[in-house]
Structure 1
Amino acid sequence: EFYCCGTHTIAIKFTVGEFSYPLESVIKLKKLMDEDISPDKLCKSIKLPEEFYPVCDKEDAADVFIKLGIFINLDMCCMCQLH
């Protein structure tokens, strides 16, 4: 399960399972994925921001990265108005 939550669009956090990240971190992750670093190889990349290291301890790390990356493809304004 994943969802967006925010107050007045100031503090937007993205949650996938037990992991929660601010918008800025998810944007960094999406940029890495756009550099053709596949989700299953992100944990081996020296470019992966440290805040994502705990995800790499999970078997479904690639799925978590994919779900976080999907958020950036959504219309943020419309999505956050729902909450």
Structure 2
Amino acid sequence: MPDESPVPALPGPEQRWRCSRCGNLTRFDVTRRSRVTEYWHFDLPGSPAVESADVLEEVVERVRCRWCESTADVELVPRA
């Protein structure tokens, strides 16, 4: 059965994630999907370096508390 927990938004400058189940504020596993355009520069031997990247789309698919493994209890709260 797939996890149907609501996914919290990414925290902004005045917010942070908190697990309401165990109180965790610092450790989360975040699964996200991104679509990115990158400028790759290859040196003469052929090794690449990404010199710039533009994020076209980013979707957070899941946020899981690292302490209690809950996905349903992670919420956005104001930073202190």
Settle same-fold status: TM greater than 0.5.
Answer: no
| Bigger relative contact order, structure 1 or 2 (CA pairs below 8 A, ≥6 apart) | 2
Instruction: Determine which structure has the larger helix proportion and give its number.
Output: 1
The TM-score normalised by the length of structure 2 is 0.26
Q: TM-score, normalised by structure 1?
A: 0.25
Higher-strand-fraction structure:
2
